[in-house]
Amino acid sequence: MSTFPLRISEDLKHMAAAQAEAAGVSFNQFIATTLAARVGAQTEITTTSPSVAPVPCGEGQKKSSATQVSAPHHATTTKSNRPQTGGDGENIFAAARLSRIKYKSKTEGASGMASPTETIDCKTLDEFWSYISPIGKLFDKNDSKFIYRGQGNSDWGLIPKIYRKDIITKYKSRMLSTLSTHPGQVFFEFAMLSQFICHCDSIGLPILGDLMEFRTYFKHDKVMGLHGIDTTTWPEDRVIPLMALAQHHGIPTRLLDWSDNPYVACYFAAASGVFDASCENCDKIAVFGINVNAVVYEKHIKHIKVPGSISNNVSAQNGSFILVNNSGNRDTEFMTDVSLESQLIDSPRSPILKKVTLPRALADKLLARCDKFGFTAATIFPGYDGAAKATLEGIRPATRS
């Protein structure tokens, strides 16, 4: 067992050891590199490596590869001159969690804890349609309640848009580098939502739950006063309706869109696979299902159901959201590309996430079948824009099925 002059729990020590095994590095090297590079605690640590079974990590965005580091298995001492702002246990936990997110297992179902995702690769449209049925053998479980999400590339992780590196680069590039911390990310998100409110006000668009009490709270000094040191409680429940509305109108947020209806997810997977240029070179599309009855026991993700009156799109899509945690303090750099899968890798309930794939070559046929069952852009985006989108999708040459 490790010898720590720091006051941290046995769980944290075992977690750090497990993540070192999953990353392919020694326990000592893991502690030394993560604390020196990420936390910078002004302390000295002497450890010896325990024996812990390896733990597979979750999927990353677009086939990111695992980082391999070679290190001798002997006691290591490391020092850092950066000031320490949190407790030793907190810093060890932060370091371990950052590395847990960063590293990725090359294969699902590796030895150790179960993979967070059960994947079913279908070869035909009929097989796929049978698997995603809410009364099929995969999702019709007495003790389960599944929600669904479709993506045009099965290799993409389930990453909230605001966490994606390309989005950060595109919209946050003009901000100072000091805003690369977690509170800096909260300021970035607050600034976008604040601008969204201003533009809604300028043309008289209502925002659900928009009372004077909320306006008093949703000011820079109040928000940053509450979340400027530690971002664990961001976003507060009173911000979620605004976030959900903004999300459904194109603003990137921490929320992931899901639907109670698997055929809505099928439409999004098929339409993205057919029309999204970023999916042109992908092999498969995917529909994900997650058991919300199990989500309630998870620490790092949260299922959120909002009133349908927030947006016509939410009600038409039988929509709800999953909030993926990515919090930290002002001395910790904000991590991009944090996925839902990465927050489930050490869950004792895994796999609670199902992924059903279909060759992208059949996306046209899937889109046509969704049309036959009444799931089109017109029904999913009720309004003139949805009707126009459905018209263009309908006249595009496709193989009907």
Indicate the number of domains in the chain.
2
Residue 54 has pLDDT above 60, yes or no: no
Q: Are 363 and 274 in contact (CB under 8 A)?
A: yes
Do 182 and 281 belong to one domain? yes
Residue type, 301: I
93-107, 185-199, 234-248, 301-315: the lowest-pLDDT one: 93-107
Q: Distances from the Cα of 217 to the Cαs of 159, 212, 230, in angstroms?
A: 28, 9, 17
Instruction: Enter the pTM of the model.
Output: 0.71
**353 inside domain:** yes
Q: Are 34 and 67 in contact (CB under 8 A)?
A: no
5-9, 278-282, 394-398: the lowest-pLDDT one: 5-9
Q: What is the pLDDT of residues 336-363, one digit of tens each?
A: 999 999 998 777 776 889 999 999 999 9
Q: What is the pLDDT of residues 260-313, one digit of tens each?
A: 999 999 999 999 999 998 898 899 999 999 999 999 889 899 999 999 888 899
- Domain final position from 102, 134, 162: 102
Do 49 and 125 belong to one domain? no
Do 52 and 141 belong to one domain? no
Across 46-60, 85-99, 322-336, the highest mean pLDDT is recorded for 322-336
Do 195 and 96 belong to one domain? no
Q: Distances from the Cα of 98 to the Cαs of 19, 101, 230, 337, in angstroms?
A: 10, 5, 16, 12
Residue 89: give the domain boundaries. 10-102
**23 inside domain:** yes
Residue 393 has pLDDT above 60, yes or no: yes
Do 214 and 355 belong to one domain? yes
**208 inside domain:** yes
Beta pairing class for 353-359 and 284-291: antiparallel
Do 121 and 200 belong to one domain? yes
**389 inside domain:** yes
**400 inside domain:** no
Residue 243 has pLDDT above 50, yes or no: yes
Residue 194 has pLDDT above 50, yes or no: yes
Using pLDDT thresholds of 50, 70 and 90, give the confidence band for residue 13: low
Residue 364's pLDDT is: 95
Q: Are 55 and 113 in contact (CB under 8 A)?
A: yes
Q: Where are the beta strands (DSSP E) in 74-145?
A: 76-78, 117-121
Q: What is the pLDDT of residues 108-138, one digit of tens each?
A: 444 455 677 899 999 999 999 999 999 888 9
3-state helix, strand, coil in the chain (%, to 5): 45, 15, 45
Residues with Cβ within 8 Å of 124's Cβ and at least 6 positions away in sequence, in order, are 362
Do 68 and 151 belong to one domain? no
**1 inside domain:** no
**259 inside domain:** yes
Do 168 and 298 belong to one domain? yes
End-to-end CA distance of the chain: 61
Do 77 and 186 belong to one domain? no
Q: Is the peptide bond before 235 cis (omega within 30 degrees of 0)?
A: yes
Do 74 and 188 belong to one domain? no
- Domain final position from 50, 73, 102: 102
Closest CA to 37 of 97, 89, 5, 80: 80
**109 inside domain:** no
- Domain final position from 102, 133, 167: 102
Do 91 and 148 belong to one domain? no
Do 137 and 51 belong to one domain? no
For residue 181, the Cα-to-chain-centroid distance in whole angstroms is: 18
Neighbouring C-beta atoms of residue 292, cutoff 10 Å: 18
